[in-house]
Structure 1
């Protein structure tokens, strides 16, 4: 994690040029295991990039375009991602604990074993997302849109689900309303019924 900040800036500028010239110039961003907390990312695009196992903890990335990027195993703990665009991104194994993800777009995203513990996903667009063993424990999903999303072995203990939209069109295979150590698995119609009940009740 000791990569020079100047070197990162050069790579970010090259990625910006790569996007602007549709790949004619510059180079697509590919970084791994980099601590980005001391880098000012405000003027650099992060879409269509490979950013794996990097640290974004506590950063302000509100309304940032990070769409179509590979973000596997990166951490966004306490990060502000309000209104950010993560559409078509792969955030499998990433950690969004306590992150602000209000009104963000995670449509068509891949979230395998992604951690959203205590994250705020109010009004988030989760349409057609793949949620497999995703951890939403104690997360806030008020009015989130889950149309065409797939839920399989998703952890939901303590999640606030009031107003969740699109459950009728979602693919609810199974959910875990217990813990990883002591799972309480609900399947198919029973899982969808539980979610629909929670979405209609203020808790």
Structure 2
């Protein structure tokens, strides 16, 4: 079922909505799911639970990820540009080489995130409630 939804979403994006269907996974529990390399551009995962999910190399550009739970998720090389991560929980997430350009991190919790650099974080919009890991540099 999830595989079919991902295929329909990719078609929806490629055809600009004339075919397929946008992936709407609001509040869905995808903990431990293997979504490496998934094309989820502009998907709606608001409030989704992705604890320890494998999203390495996933394309989540422009997606609604508000209140999503990414604790200890594998997001290495993921594209999160312009994604809405407001109030998302990324504690302990693996973020090596993840792209955050133009992403919204207002209220997001990235404490204990692995592999996140100050340069990556500085590419995103943050506010006083954004919680970042301790950077070594």
- What TM-score, normalized to structure 1? 0.54
Q: Which of 41, 53, 70 is the equivalent residue of 1:92?
A: 41
Please tell me whether residue 110 in structure 1 is matched to residue 59 in structure 2: yes
Question: Distance in 2 between the 1:109 and 1:150 partners?
Answer: 11
Q: Residue 105 of structure 2 corresponds to which residue in structure 1?
A: 156
Q: Which of 52, 64, 70 is the equivalent residue of 2:9?
A: 52
Give the strand-richer structure, 1 or 2: 1
Q: RMSD of the TM alignment (CA)? A: 2.9
CA contact (8 A) 2:9 2:40 kept: no
Structure 1 residues 145 and 170: alpha-carbon distance in aligned structure 2, compared to 1, 3 A threshold = farther
Q: Residue 82 of structure 1 corresponds to which residue in structure 2?
A: 31
CA contact (8 A) 2:55 2:73 kept: yes
Question: Distance in 2 between the 1:88 and 1:72 partners?
Answer: 19
Query: How big is the shift at 1:73?
Result: 2.9
- What TM-score, normalized to structure 2? 0.79
Unpaired runs of 5+ residues, structure 2, are 11-19
Unpaired runs of 5+ residues, structure 1, are 1-40, 54-70, 179-194
Per-residue CA distance 1:93-132 (angstroms, 9 max, x = gap): 1011111110001111111101110010000000001111
- Aligned residue pairs total 124
Structure 1 residues 145 and 126: alpha-carbon distance in aligned structure 2, compared to 1, 3 A threshold = same
For the residue of structure 1 that corresponds to 2:60, the secondary structure is: strand
CA contact (8 A) 1:72 1:92 kept: no
Q: Residue 73 of structure 2 corresponds to which residue in structure 1?
A: 124
Segments ≥4 residues shifted beyond 4 Å: 169-173
